[in-house]
Chains A and B, each alone.
Chain A
Amino acid sequence: MPTKDEIFEKVRTTLVDALNVDEDEVKPTSRLRADLNAESIDFLDIVFRLEKQFGVKIPREELFPESIFQGDAEFVADGKVTAKGLAELEKQMPFADLTEFRKDPRLDKMEDLFTVDLIVNYLQKKLGG
């Protein structure tokens, strides 16, 4: 099983190729959309490249569940993810650190969860079984 550093190196290579960014721009804390300028199609591209790079299958919406809450009153109220929504998020993304997001769970902030570190954690869980 690869170490966290080894996974990070490969993820960085993947992001450099997919997003056309420099290596030193890709830090563990970098947010894909806000810091690395990823667009919607880039998320598909990243998943596609990670699958190839790591030889794993990444089901749709498992790594980046971008739209799971959209338009669902149970999970979102007044633009914020509800307690029920947060519980669901925790279930769907056990590899995510939700500490910051819990403080201000605005739906439009959810994409800030998608960081380089999130991908590394996800892959570590996935590869470690």
Chain B
Amino acid sequence: MTLKDQVALVTGGSRGIGRAVVQKLAAEGAKVAFVYRGSQQAAEELEKTVAAAGGVAKAIQADVADPAAARRVVDGVLADWGRVDILVNNAGVIRDGLFVRMEPENWKTVLDTNLNGTFYFCRAVADQMALKQRSGRIINVSSVAADHVNAGQTNYAASKGAVNSFTRALAVELGSRSVTVNAVAPGFIETDMSEVVRAKGGDFIAKKLVPLRRLGKPEDIAGVVAFLAGPAAAYVTGQVLTVDGGLSLGAVTG
């Protein structure tokens, strides 16, 4: 157990990658608060699953795109557990569509959640981590689609590219206070969010475009998040770590 008695906060925690991150951090001994927006049933089930495995996880309902939500959530965690050692900004949405037809609303929704939500939560823990604790780990979940872009994702690519730059800039500011800031850029992961694309071309992607010959599982990402949160990554900051089975190498196999 590498995270014993630490306090973690994970956004978008009830499903997909977030759910695996919650389970992994709890299994490593952290007390985990996680934010969910709509999936109350999934959130309650996750609380129970973690408890049954001997861990501690607590669900908090909030929309990360709401500017006031992060402060409320973080204050709640501090009131309960007194500190925040790990923040994982995982909440993300897609609203794919070709640009010539993209409604401003779809642009705004993606930026509000993926980028602004990350800002709000980082801002809400920064004083606590940098000034009060003088330690902390911030891990932003980005995407390979920031750099290896896809048609129909101008909004998503822009949001994740911005998260990568934000990660590097914040790492510089908080470095002197022993707060590391990193990002994980997942490739093609088997989640609800990627279901539509998977249904269309998942098999081709796995067999032809991923050197490791399979799509990623949420656990593949959770393990790297736990590494960045743990003692082994104490000297890693400002990095975007790609976890994609080699997809971004751009090689076509077979």
**B127 and A41 form a contact (CB under 8 A):** no
**B131 and A44 form a contact (CB under 8 A):** yes
Q: What's the nearest-Cβ distance from chain A to residue B109, in Å? A: 32
**A39 and B176 form a contact (CB under 8 A):** yes
Contacts of A45 in B (CB 8 A): 130-131, 177
Q: Mark B114-138, 1 if CB is under 8 A from A, else 0.
A: 0000000000000100111000000
Measured between alpha carbons, how far is A41 from B176 in the docked complex, in Å?
8
Q: What's the nearest-Cβ distance from chain A to residue B128, in Å? A: 11
**B176 and A48 form a contact (CB under 8 A):** no
Measured between alpha carbons, how far is A126 from B30 in the docked complex, in Å?
42
Number of residues on chain B facing chain A (CB within 8 A)? 8
Q: What's the nearest-Cβ distance from chain B to residue A106, in Å? A: 27
Measured between alpha carbons, how far is A48 from B132 in the docked complex, in Å?
9
Measured between alpha carbons, how far is A48 from B176 in the docked complex, in Å?
16
Grouping DSSP codes into helix (H, G, I), strand (E, B) and loop, the A interface class, with mixed when no group exceeds half, is helix
Measured between alpha carbons, how far is A35 from B9 in the docked complex, in Å?
39
* Most chain A beta-carbon neighbours within 10 Å: one of B130, B131, B132, B176: B131
Contacts of B127 in A (CB 8 A): 48
Complex: chain A residue closest to B173, CB-CB: A41
Measured between alpha carbons, how far is A120 from B1 in the docked complex, in Å?
47
Q: Mark A18-51, 1 if CB is under 8 A from B, else 0.
A: 0000000000000000000001011011001000
Measured between alpha carbons, how far is A48 from B130 in the docked complex, in Å?
11
Measured between alpha carbons, how far is A39 from B176 in the docked complex, in Å?
9
* Most chain A beta-carbon neighbours within 10 Å: one of B173, B174, B176, B177: B176
Contacts of B131 in A (CB 8 A): 44-45, 48
Contacts of A42 in B (CB 8 A): 176
Measured between alpha carbons, how far is A39 from B175 in the docked complex, in Å?
12
Complex: chain B residue closest to A42, CB-CB: B176
Complex: chain B residue closest to A44, CB-CB: B131
Chain A positions within 8 Å of B, measured between CB atoms, are 39, 41-42, 44-45, 48
Chain B positions within 8 Å of A, measured between CB atoms, are 127, 130-132, 173-174, 176-177
Q: What are 14 A-B contacts defined by CB distance under 8 Å?
A: A39-B176, A41-B130, A41-B173, A41-B174, A41-B176, A41-B177, A42-B176, A44-B131, A45-B130, A45-B131, A45-B177, A48-B127, A48-B131, A48-B132
Question: Which 4 residue pairs across A and B have the least CB separation, nearest first?
Answer: A48-B131, A45-B131, A41-B176, A39-B176
